[in-house]
Amino acid sequence: MFVARSIAADHRDLIHDVSFDFHGRRMATCSSDQSVKVWDKSENGDWHCTASWKTHSGSVWRVTWAHPEFGQVLASCSFDRTAAVWEEIVGESNDKLRGQSHWVKRTTLVDSRTSVTDVKFAPKHMGLMLATCSADGVVRIYEAPDVMNLSQWSLQHEISCKLSCSCISWNPSSSRAHSPMIAVGSDDNSPNILAKVQIYEYNENTRKYAKAEALMTVTDPVHDIAFAPNLGRSFHILAVATKDVRIFTLKPLRKELTSSGGLTKFEIHIAAQFDNHNSQVWRVSWNITGTVLASSGDDGCVRLWKANYMDNWKCTGILKGNGSPVNGSSQQGVFNASLGSVNTSLQNSLNGSSAGRYFFPPLDSPRAGSRWSSHAQLLPPPPLIEPSCDADPASLQYPHPRRRCVSRPLNLLPENEGV
């Protein structure tokens, strides 16, 4: 079951990104109002805004947390052509009393000449590193050599991708077998057939990032890209948000002996491709174990994708936006009623094996004396999840029992979703 609760973000303009910290106890939001807000979860589960400050002189596109090993550090990037690194200062008692924290700008990264579209911290085993990408097609990798002094960042690498960049993703694998790797997506929409996803790998010998692969099959603008957590696999999984959702596997091929120390070549397979959004897909992201992929598109839905234990991917849930206006949008707490459409579709659940969940209808009323009343009461025809009124029928089409593939348990692959 799902519960959605709302928090009035109180940004004066559109929110572009929300970001949880590593432990999920804090979050940051950034907005076109040029500010970033930090929210802390209190012991009783309420979220409170503990900081809000102007970060840039343009829309803030993305905000992201560094690993807590490096302290409380945020990075943001903006239309104002900069990215910035922020650190929380443990407040004076005065601030603490008011429940406010203080964030100071540690550095401004001004190398880009165009809007900085994405910013991501590298996996922690690489140290405190930060990658940015910008609309002029350059990926920059910065490093803070002294983790205690965040005002010093040196530009380590500049990778020219030739295409306007929209998103980057670090490969999270900490395995020694894998060199640092970063995937870059481009939202260039000029009519060309250039690959819109490029993968760069760090070469120990040249100490540079070099292009290892390009996903030639992706020629439409790419809006987001995400490597899945590795789970000790030898291969990598990359999700791409373009005109549809695609999941690629990248299997490193054994390095040729002749080109020792050269770039790894990959065997690329497309593991899944979903066009259920029927539109551009804007975000993709994995849960922490990399078992569920979420994507959102122009249809205003967040769809959840999950592989079952036989590695078949399918949609397991849809989160719908709230069409009806929320009364007094600043109210806090559970609001089942007003969030009706969200909740019904939420009930589709993240459950891997179900495309829809059924809840046993409630007992009419416990009859006096009869403790668990008989199951006859469980039998009246149940409302098999009432589809929300504005749900598109395609997405809410639950596999009919008869059409289920009996020989493959837990594997209800709804039509035209598999590959």
Partner 1 sequence: VVPGVDSAARQLCFEWGPAEMLVCETLFGGRGGEPLDDRCQQSPTPRRFLAGAGEGRPSSSSVFVVRKDQDVYVQTLRKLFNESHGIFVGLQRSEEELAGKSRKAHLVQVSKNYRSVIRACMEDMHQAAVSARDPALHSQYSTQVSILSAMELIWNLCEILFVEAAVAGPLLIRLLDWVRLHVCDVNNMVREVLSSENPSKHELFWNVVDVFVLQGRMDEARHLLSKEASANPTSLTMCRVLDDLMKKMPVPSLGNMQTLTELELKWQHWHEECQRYLQDGTFASNSHMESICKVLLGDENAILEKKELLTTWYHFLVTRLLYCHPTVKPMELRCLKCLSFIMSCYLPPQSSMDLFLGGESSAEPLDIILMAAFEFEIHQVIKECSIALSNWWFVAHLTDLLDHCKLLQSHNLYFGSNMREFLLLEYASGLFSHHSLWQLGVDYFDHCPEYGRVYLELHIERIPLNTEQKALKVLRICEQRQMHEQVRSICKIMAMKALRNNRLGSALSWSIRAKDAAFATLISDRFLKDYCEKGCFSDLDLIDNLGPSMLLSDRLTFLGKYREFHRLYGEKRFSEAAKLLLMLMTAHIAPCSFWMTLLTDALPLLEQKEIIFSAEQTYELMRCLEDLTAGKSDKQKFQDDDVETMKVEMLRLALARNLARVIVKEGTLEGS
Residue 272, amino acid: A
Of the pair 212, 246, the CB lying nearest partner 1 is at 246
Indicate whether 329 belongs to the interface with partner 1 (CB under 8 A).
yes
How many alpha carbons fall within 13 Å on the CB side of residue 261?
A: 6
Identify the residue among 207, 401, 415, 416 touching partner 1 (CB under 8 A).
401
Closest to 199 in 3D by CA, of 145, 235, 154 = 235
Among the listed ranges 9-17, 244-252, 263-271, 389-397, the one in contact with partner 1 (CB under 8 A) is 9-17
Q: How far apart are CA 93 and CA 90, in angstroms?
A: 9
Identify the residue among 40, 58, 95, 105 touching partner 1 (CB under 8 A).
58
Under DSSP, the state recorded for 34 is S
- Closest distance to partner 1 from the beta carbon of 257 (Å): 31
Identify the residue among 108, 152, 174, 234 touching partner 1 (CB under 8 A).
174
Give every strand in the sheet of 138-143, ordered side by side.
116-121, 129-134, 138-143, 154-160
Interface positions, 117-146, toward partner 1 (CB under 8 A) = 124
Indicate whether 313 belongs to the interface with partner 1 (CB under 8 A).
no
Are the beta carbons of 27 and 71 closer than 8 angstroms? Answer: no
Residue 333, amino acid: G
Identify the residue among 176, 207, 254, 402 touching partner 1 (CB under 8 A).
402
- Closest distance to partner 1 from the beta carbon of 413 (Å): 13
**Strand partners for 301:** 320
Indicate whether 356 belongs to the interface with partner 1 (CB under 8 A).
yes
Indicate whether 302 belongs to the interface with partner 1 (CB under 8 A).
yes
Indicate whether 227 belongs to the interface with partner 1 (CB under 8 A).
no
CB count within 10 Å of CB 124 equals 16
Pattern 242-281, partner 1, x by CB under 8 A: --------------------------------------x-
Of the pair 257, 310, the CB lying nearest partner 1 is at 310
Are the beta carbons of 171 and 181 closer than 8 angstroms? Answer: yes
Closest to 249 in 3D by CA, of 228, 264, 263 = 228
CB count within 10 Å of CB 356 equals 19
Indicate whether 101 belongs to the interface with partner 1 (CB under 8 A).
no
CB count within 10 Å of CB 305 equals 24
- Maximum alpha-carbon separation in the chain: 83
- Closest distance to partner 1 from the beta carbon of 291 (Å): 8
Give every strand in the sheet of 73-78, ordered side by side.
60-65, 73-78, 83-89, 102-109
Indicate whether 38 belongs to the interface with partner 1 (CB under 8 A).
no
Interface positions, 360-389, toward partner 1 (CB under 8 A) = 360-363, 365-367, 369-382
- Closest distance to partner 1 from the beta carbon of 94 (Å): 16
Indicate whether 229 belongs to the interface with partner 1 (CB under 8 A).
yes
Among the listed ranges 29-37, 175-183, 207-215, 385-393, the one in contact with partner 1 (CB under 8 A) is 29-37
Q: Round to the nearest angstrom and report the end-to-end CA distance of the chain.
A: 29
- Closest distance to partner 1 from the beta carbon of 159 (Å): 21
Q: How far apart are CA 241 and CA 283, in angstroms?
A: 6
DSSP-derived secondary structure for 73-94: EEEEEETTS-EEEEEEEPPPHH
Of the pair 229, 340, the CB lying nearest partner 1 is at 229
Are the beta carbons of 37 and 52 closer than 8 angstroms? Answer: yes
Indicate whether 47 belongs to the interface with partner 1 (CB under 8 A).
yes
Of the pair 252, 317, the CB lying nearest partner 1 is at 317
Provide the 3-class DSSP secondary structure of residue 126: helix
Indicate whether 211 belongs to the interface with partner 1 (CB under 8 A).
no
Are the beta carbons of 385 and 356 closer than 8 angstroms? Answer: yes
Indicate whether 235 belongs to the interface with partner 1 (CB under 8 A).
no
Indicate whether 288 belongs to the interface with partner 1 (CB under 8 A).
yes
Among the listed ranges 155-163, 209-217, 250-258, 345-353, the one in contact with partner 1 (CB under 8 A) is 345-353
Of the pair 179, 353, the CB lying nearest partner 1 is at 353
Of the pair 156, 287, the CB lying nearest partner 1 is at 287
- Closest distance to partner 1 from the beta carbon of 342 (Å): 7
Q: How far apart are CA 238 and CA 162, in angstroms?
A: 21
Closest to 30 in 3D by CA, of 42, 46, 45, 12 = 12
Among the listed ranges 152-160, 191-199, 246-254, 410-418, the one in contact with partner 1 (CB under 8 A) is 410-418
Indicate whether 413 belongs to the interface with partner 1 (CB under 8 A).
no
